[in-house]
Amino acid sequence: MLELYSDKPEEKSMQSLYMDINRHYAEKCFGQLRELGLQPGQIPIIMILSRSDGCSQRSMAEFLRNKPSTVNVSIQRLEKAGIVYRRRDEKDQRIMRVCLTEKGKETVAVLSARFHEMEEKMFENFSETELCLLRRFFLQILENMEHIPGSPAGPCGL
pLDDT of residue 31: 87
Does 157 score more than 70 pLDDT? no
Whole-angstrom Cα distance, residue 142 to residue 147? Answer: 9
Buried/exposed 74-105: b ≥16 CB within 10 Å, e otherwise: bbebbeebebbeeeeeeeeeeeebbebeeebb
Asked if residues 56 and 97 have their Cβ atoms less than 8 Å apart, the reply is: yes
Which residue did the predictor score with more confidence, 133 or 145? Answer: 133
pTM for this one?
0.72
Give the side-chain half-sphere CA count within 13 A for 24: 9
Query: What pLDDT is stored for residue 89 in this prediction?
Result: 86
What is the predicted pLDDT for the residue at 98?
A: 94
Q: Is the pLDDT of residue 2 over 60?
A: no
Q: What integer pLDDT is reported at residue 1 of this predicted model?
A: 43
CA distances from 3 to 7, 14, 42, 108, 110 (A): 9, 9, 36, 40, 39
Cα dihedral sign for 4, 7, 10, 16? positive
Q: Given this model, what pLDDT does residue 76 score? A: 94
More confident residue, 40 or 132: 132
Q: How far, in Å, CA of 146 to CA of 47, rounded? A: 25
pLDDT at 95: 86
